Amino acid sequence: MSEDAITESRFEPTTLVELCRYRASREPDRRMFAFLENGLEESDSLTLAQLDARAWAIAVLLSRHAPPGARAVLSYPPGLDFVSAFFGCLYAGLIAVPAPPVLRVGVDDRYTRFRAIVNSCQPDLLLSNGSRLSRVDALLKDMSTPRRPTSVATDEIGETDVYGWNAPHIDPDTMAYLQYTSGTTGPPRGVGLTHRNVLHNLSLILANGSRATDDFDRQPPAVSWLPVFHDMGLITGVLQPLYVGYNAALMPPTAFAQQPVNWLRAISDRRAGISSAPGFGYELCLRRVSEQQLRSLDFSGWKIAVVGDEPVRAEMIDQFSAMLAPFGFRREAFFPSYGIAESTVMLSGGPVEPEPVIRRFDAVALAKGKVQRAGRDDEARRLVGLGQLHPSMTIAVVDPVTGEPCAPDETGEILASGPSIGAAYWNAPEETASTFNATVRGHEGRRFLRTGSLGFVDGGQLFVTCRVDDLIVVEGMQHYPYDIEATAGGSHAAIREGCCCAFTVEDGGRTRLVVLAEINSRFRIVAAGPAPDAPSGARATLAADEVEEAVREAVFAGHGLRTDEVLLVKAGSLPFTTSGKLQRSRCRSRYRARVFETV
């Protein structure tokens, strides 16, 4: 379906407030949101009328504590209280700031992220539900905030008389919320997103993921385990369902992480048509869901399986499709996409229905930064296309150092321009200038966002190969850390799958390749020499040099690279973001500081 056809058949709101109020006026009794507390059983729900009434009541109270434009941090445990509070902030003209739920001071990623967000945005309000608020509020005592925000338990707000309350003026250019980045390559930064930015991105997602035969009034529901304080979770689990008009069932991320089959069972039970996850979500299902668990499930209703990553592994698509095919899943349902918080969420995606675009490129050419389709006998890399480019978005591929446009057959940094992209990072003028204000020769007068990702455009599809900062360059040849990590992870049974990190460090003018590998807790590693006999039922005992040599041999065989150091570390040592992304820059910093505890 063309974008024009979609626009003609739909109401087009100018703000998210207008969108929510319109939905509530049209279908007040519709139970649009449901919450599956244990991943399976529905424990709470929210009709559109209830959402509108709750948002109004919250807005009236919040307006007594802070003026329009003030920041309100939302730190909620999984549930539907966040949804009402988020729209309550928007109704009051406040800037909503989604943040992770935290209970105690510590070194875990959620507290680190919460602390970084609060210190960055200096909120006027702290919102949570009554059962968590006192403990969340206590965390602020350990933070260097110039003023203490007012704490509000939004679930304890009763019905409020809205008559006589003057709702603030909200227009498309009013800032709606701050979406903090995942923190993969540095501290989280708050992207200021206006109502116009968000609504454009919602329409872009709809256009990229729509078919000519779609009936927008009869869309099957969506299921999401993604945390709502992240861009993908907020958009796919809350805002896109409201924009398109389909129901959504939310579940706690822990319900998925502990039992990945819960996600698949919820999709089957609810005949869900849409569900989204980063690549590691599908990978976790491959590792921890058995055929026996799948036997009673039916995925024939799963129309769009969004996967957002950089890059998406072709092998994952092959394996996941093969595993679920006997139970009705269609490979065509996969919808690879690319997005970042700076562009609300999606930059490219689709089209829906054809099989995912997987193309073979010459591996030797790619190592030299060149793009060349592989011949039948060439050494090839299979890369997954991350979607088509919406006409409203402009992409440029440039040299990451000089900023000069690359030739069509060259890889470079991906720059983007369009209405979905925010204007700035909150309270970070230097980072804003370097990230949001790039210019490109041939596109005079247009402002570009530096995505920090390397890639290229081929046949209308965007291909992302690596983060600029993560690229491994040895003797002038480019290597992608994901590939080296996958090779290292599969080299020995003692290494935890998906828990390796590869990077380079400079040492006296020489580039050294380092691989960190987490050891499965089922194994005990000794320094060297023959492994001693272990009693029956005890952990298997291995010599460290056996595992290290397996990594070195595999990396050399697979990539022609000498690994200068293999560091075997305890399970759980590698830092990941709260959205499951490996933080390679932090790994490199911790390695240099020698803070990793080896086994």
Q: What is the pLDDT of residues 355-396, one digit of tens each?
A: 999 999 999 999 999 999 998 888 899 999 999 999 999 999
Q: Is the pLDDT of residue 112 over 90?
A: no
Q: Tell me the percentage of the chain whose pLDDT exceeds 90.
A: 75
Distances (CA, A) of 213 to 2, 6, 350, 367, 368: 11, 11, 16, 42, 44
Q: Is the pLDDT of residue 103 over 90?
A: no
Beta carbons of 237 and 227 less than 8 angstroms apart:
no
φ, ψ of residue 316 in degrees (nearest 5)? -65, -45
Q: What is the mean pLDDT of residues 219-239?
A: 95
Tell me, what amino acid is at 455?
A: G
Strand 71-75 versus strand 95-99 pairing type: parallel
Q: Is the pLDDT of residue 7 over 50?
A: no
Q: Is the pLDDT of residue 208 over 70?
A: yes
Tell me, what amino acid is at 3?
A: E
346 dihedral zone (left: phi>0; alpha: psi -120 to 50; beta): beta
Q: What is the mean pLDDT of residues 526-554?
A: 77
- Confidence tier at 106 by pLDDT (50, 70, 90): low
pLDDT of residue 5: 44
Beta carbons of 19 and 13 less than 8 angstroms apart:
yes
- Confidence tier at 194 by pLDDT (50, 70, 90): very high
Q: Is the pLDDT of residue 213 over 80?
A: no
Structure tokens at 206: 């709809």
Q: What is the mean pLDDT of residues 428-446?
A: 95
Q: What share of the chain is helix, strand, coil (3-state, %, to 5)?
A: 35, 25, 40
**Least confident piece of the model among 124-133, 258-267, 526-535, 545-554:** 526-535
**Least confident piece of the model among 65-74, 285-294, 360-369, 500-509:** 500-509
81-91 helix and 16-26 helix, angle to the nearest 10 degrees: 120
- Confidence tier at 216 by pLDDT (50, 70, 90): low
Which domains are seen in the chain, by residue range? 3-30+48-217+227-248 (3.40.50.12780), 472-592 (3.30.300.30)
Please tell me which residue, 214 or 388, carries the higher pLDDT value: 388
Long-range contacts of 162-168 (CB under 8 A, 24+ apart): 162/56, 162/57, 162/60, 165/60, 165/63, 167/59, 167/91, 167/92, 167/93, 168/63, 168/68, 168/92, 168/93
- Confidence tier at 8 by pLDDT (50, 70, 90): very low
With 0-12 / 13-18 / 19 or more C-beta atoms within 10 angstroms meaning exposed / middle / buried, residue 377 is: exposed
Q: What is the mean pLDDT of residues 22-30?
A: 97
Q: Is the peptide bond before 311 cis (omega within 30 degrees of 0)?
A: yes
pLDDT of residue 217: 63
pLDDT of residue 183: 75
Q: What is the mean pLDDT of residues 320-329?
A: 98
- d(CA 529, CA 542) in angstroms, rounded, equals 9
Please tell me which residue, 185 or 476, carries the higher pLDDT value: 476
* Helix extents (H) in 472-583: 481-489, 544-559
With 0-12 / 13-18 / 19 or more C-beta atoms within 10 angstroms meaning exposed / middle / buried, residue 10 is: middle
pTM: 0.92
- Confidence tier at 210 by pLDDT (50, 70, 90): confident
Q: Tell me the percentage of the chain whose pLDDT exceeds 70.
A: 93
Beta carbons of 386 and 462 less than 8 angstroms apart:
yes
* Helix extents (H) in 358-492: 363-367, 429-436, 481-489
Please tell me which residue, 597 or 124, carries the higher pLDDT value: 124
Beta carbons of 51 and 32 less than 8 angstroms apart:
yes
DSSP secondary structure letter of residue 235: I
Instruction: Beginning with the edge strand found earlier in the chain, give each strand of the sheet holding 495-507 in spatial order.
Output: 495-507, 510-519, 565-570
Q: What is the pLDDT of residues 60-98, one digit of tens each?
A: 999 999 999 999 999 999 999 999 999 999 999 999 999
Structure tokens at 391: 């006409």
- d(CA 303, CA 324) in angstroms, rounded, equals 13
For residue 307, give the nearest of 346, 273, 280, 335 by alpha carbon: 335
Helix (H, G, I), strand (E, B) or coil at 591: helix
Spell out the SS3 assignment of 295-331: CCCCCCCCCEEEEECCCCCHHHHHHHHHHHHHHCCCH
Helix (H, G, I), strand (E, B) or coil at 190: strand
Q: Share the mean pLDDT of the chain.
A: 91
For residue 340, give the nearest of 405, 445, 413 by alpha carbon: 413
pLDDT of residue 266: 97
Structure tokens at 114: 């919460």
- d(CA 140, CA 378) in angstroms, rounded, equals 58
| Residue 150: CB atoms within 10 Å | 17
Cβ contacts of 385 within 8 Å, gap of 6 or more: 336, 356, 357, 358, 359, 458, 459, 461, 462, 463
pLDDT of residue 529: 58
pLDDT of residue 6: 44
Q: What is the pLDDT of residues 555-572, one digit of tens each?
A: 999 999 999 999 999 999
Please tell me which residue, 528 or 331, carries the higher pLDDT value: 331
Q: Is the pLDDT of residue 144 over 50?
A: yes
Provide the b/e sequence for 230-256 (b: ≥16 CB within 10 Å). bbbbbbbbbbbbbbbbbbbbbbbbebb
Structure tokens at 465: 């190969």
- Confidence tier at 4 by pLDDT (50, 70, 90): very low
- Confidence tier at 9 by pLDDT (50, 70, 90): low
Q: Is the pLDDT of residue 579 over 50?
A: yes
Q: Is the pLDDT of residue 534 over 70?
A: no
Q: What is the pLDDT of residues 145-167, one digit of tens each?
A: 677 899 999 999 987 766 768 89
Cα radius of gyration (the chain): 24
Q: Is the pLDDT of residue 539 over 80?
A: no
φ, ψ of residue 42 in degrees (nearest 5)? -75, 125
Element spanning 543, H or E:
strand 540-543
195-208 helix and 16-26 helix, angle to the nearest 10 degrees: 60
- Confidence tier at 303 by pLDDT (50, 70, 90): very high
pLDDT of residue 2: 46
